[in-house]
Amino acid sequence: MKGLIVLKFSFIFLLLASQSVMGSQKRKSRLQMKPCKQFVLYYHDILYGGIGGHDPVNATSAAVTNAATKLGNFTFGLMVIFDDPMTKNRNLHSPVPVARAQGFYFYDMKNIPSAWFAYTLVFNSSDYKGTLNIMGADPITEKTRDLSVVGGTGDFFMARGIATFQTDALEGTKYFRLKMDIKLYECY
Amino acid sequence: MKGLIVLKFSFIFLLLASQSVMGSQKRKSRLQMKPCKQFVLYYHDILYGGIGGHDPVNATSAAVTNAATKLGNFTFGLMVIFDDPMTKNRNLHSPVPVARAQGFYFYDMKNIPSAWFAYTLVFNSSDYKGTLNIMGADPITEKTRDLSVVGGTGDFFMARGIATFQTDALEGTKYFRLKMDIKLYECY
Amino acid sequence: MKGLIVLKFSFIFLLLASQSVMGSQKRKSRLQMKPCKQFVLYYHDILYGGIGGHDPVNATSAAVTNAATKLGNFTFGLMVIFDDPMTKNRNLHSPVPVARAQGFYFYDMKNIPSAWFAYTLVFNSSDYKGTLNIMGADPITEKTRDLSVVGGTGDFFMARGIATFQTDALEGTKYFRLKMDIKLYECY
């Protein structure tokens, strides 16, 4: 008789347990979430000035549209394609870049400088092999900007997360450096 | 003795429960899925006609490539970069835009008008702060078109879902309005 | 009395079960993961040579920027917009393309040929209706290259996975064919 009561209790608890399984669509609140992987990398963009321009040897990016839209005063419409080194510290001449950032950005606001990025981090080091794919807005005048890590391959198979940008250096139109804090919340 | 039987039963049920946990790769069928968040916004694209063109003050987008590919009759290859207001209702002059849509589209079919979009909804209102990142094809001649919400930040941390486009107004080459029905199926 | 002991045991096991539910953030290792859907498609890119160029009737893609960045020797910065047929076998003239690939790629390395893609597979066959959205780096000189499937709609509602590229044919600057092995690891 007691056993039967226990059985009933078990049913109830199992019901609760299975409901919490069914409800697995409900994820942890973002306040509770901790990254399953996190690292900081520095992005170095060395802009090529065009034919006869500065530094074709070291340049790692080039404008592919011109700023001739003349919409506003912040090169609205200027698009840049890049293959930029990513290093573990601020030093562009770090022994070995840990990854390349390959993709593009363009400027898209009339009244303040603001950009939009889509790119791939291509890792090929002793630490990691694989890629992370990232896209989002980069409102440059904000102290920090969050973009989405929308997918990954290799060591970053199916990863998702947030890439937080911070401007780390800005040298006219020739060079800028971004600190990218990569936080992955889905790891496999 | 009865207790032992109960224990066995419990084991079996627990086994079933834990298996359903292990099998959490299997998600709900898409027919059962309901959005965890949904809202409708209107996208207003006011195309700048170029230097000496119409309305540089109000324009919110500009072509960055020309249509000189001459492939087909639907401006194949024309790319537009935009920073467009998003409003809760059809009225472009709604008190305050609830978001900006920043990104680009281009036309990519020879025989019918068809576009491809990648952009970020940047929210900065009392309702929401954060971003949603969206990409996908926009086969304009279809009544509704589904694009992917591939990530989010801030109040939309790690969100995923569907953005359904509907053409809401079309005024020549100067202005068009899209109704965007944003349905998020992964919310944190 | 025995019943009570059983109840205690049940609690412990239920606790374990519910913890494994709570820990559902931990996914299966990528080595254990098998695709929930997989298929191979062939991508045919027939580049339009420009006005007066070759084959405007059959061309399915066109350059929208020129390679005049002159950065390196591999058309750094050249961007191509495409609406390419996808077939089940190598034959471009397969009875019916099962999908269109709509999007763009550009070349982004100075010293070797390397590209970056973002595009949508638009399915409209008896097998599938819906889309898959894909982005990532395509380091052409590698035997296989993995890109991210970042979202889907229709029959591919909310899908995620990997698209593995392999160069299948290359005919100068007029035509190339990629084998795309699409593996989805999140299906709804």
* pLDDT value for C50: 55
Q: What is the pLDDT of residue B18?
A: 41
Contact between residue A35 and residue A183 where contact means Cβ atoms under 8 Å apart = yes
Contact call for C33 and A188, based on CB within 8 A: yes
What is the per-residue pLDDT for B21? 38
CA distance A71 to C169: 43
pLDDT digits (tens, 9 = 90+) for A86-137: 999 998 887 778 999 999 999 999 999 999 999 999 999 889 999 999 999 9
The stretches in chain C having pLDDT less than 70 are: 1-31, 50-54, 67-68
Residue with tokens 């080091």: A125
Q: What is the pLDDT of residue A115?
A: 98
- The parts of chain A modelled with pLDDT lower than 70 are 1-31, 50-54, 67-68
Asked if C10 contacts A6 with a C-beta cutoff of 8 angstroms, the reply is yes
Distance from CA of C118 to the nearest CA of B (A): 9
In chain A, which residues have their Cβ closer than 8 Å to the Cβ of C18? 17, 20
The two structure tokens encoding residue B67:
């249509």
pLDDT score recorded for residue C25: 43
pLDDT score, position C140: 96
Q: How many angstroms away from the CA of B106 is the closest CA of chain C?
A: 8
Residue from B18, B66, B76 whose CB has the most chain C CBs within 10 Å, to mutate: B76
Residue C60 amino acid letter:
T
Chain B residues in contact with C28 by the CB 8 A cut-off are: 25
The number of helix segments (H) and strand segments (E) in chain B equals: 1, 9
Q: Which residue has the tokens 């009544």?
A: B143
Q: What is chain B's alpha carbon radius of gyration, rounded to the nearest angstrom?
A: 23
- This complex has an ipTM of 0.84
Residue A4, φ and ψ in degrees, nearest 5 = -65, -40
B150: helix, strand or coil: strand
Rounded to the nearest 5 percent, the helix, strand and coil shares of chain C are 15, 45, 40
Q: Which residues pair with C130 in a beta bridge?
A: C123, C154
Give residue C43's identity as a one-letter amino acid code: Y
Strand partners, C167: C178
Per-residue pLDDT of chain B (188 residues; tens, 9 = 90+): 455 554 455 544 444 444 433 334 445 566 678 999 999 999 999 998 754 556 788 899 999 987 667 788 889 999 999 999 999 999 888 777 899 999 999 999 999 999 999 999 999 988 999 999 999 999 999 999 999 999 999 999 999 999 999 999 998 888 999 999 999 999 98
B173 interfaces chain C, CB cutoff of 8 Å: no
Q: Closest partner residue to A151 among C4, C79, C160, by Cβ?
A: C160
Task: With H, G, I as helix, E, B as strand and everything else as coil, classify residue C184.
Answer: strand
Residues in C 50-89 with any Cβ partner in B closer than 8 A: 50-51, 56, 59, 62-65, 81-83
Q: Point out the residue among B25, B65, B161 whose CB comes nearest to the CB of C65.
A: B65
Alpha-carbon span C118 to B134, nearest angstrom: 12
| pLDDT tens digits for range B99-133 | 999 999 999 999 999 999 999 999 998 899 999 99
A154: left (phi over 0), alpha (psi -120 to 50) or beta: left
The per-residue pLDDT for C148 is 98
CA distance C165 to chain B (A): 20
Q: What are phi and psi of A15, to 5 degrees?
A: -60, -45
Cα→Cα distances C130→A139, C87, C125, Å: 33, 16, 9
3-state SS string over chain A? CHHHHHHHHHHHHHHHHHHHHHHHHCCCCCCCCCCCEEEEEEEEEEECCCCCCCCCCCCCEEECCCCCCCCCCCCCCCEEEEEEEEECCCCCCCCCCCEEEEEEEEECCCCCCCEEEEEEEEEECCCCEEEEEEEEEECCCCCCEEEEEEEEEECCCCCEEEEEEEEEEEECCCEEEEEEEEEEEECC
Residue-level pLDDT at A54 = 62
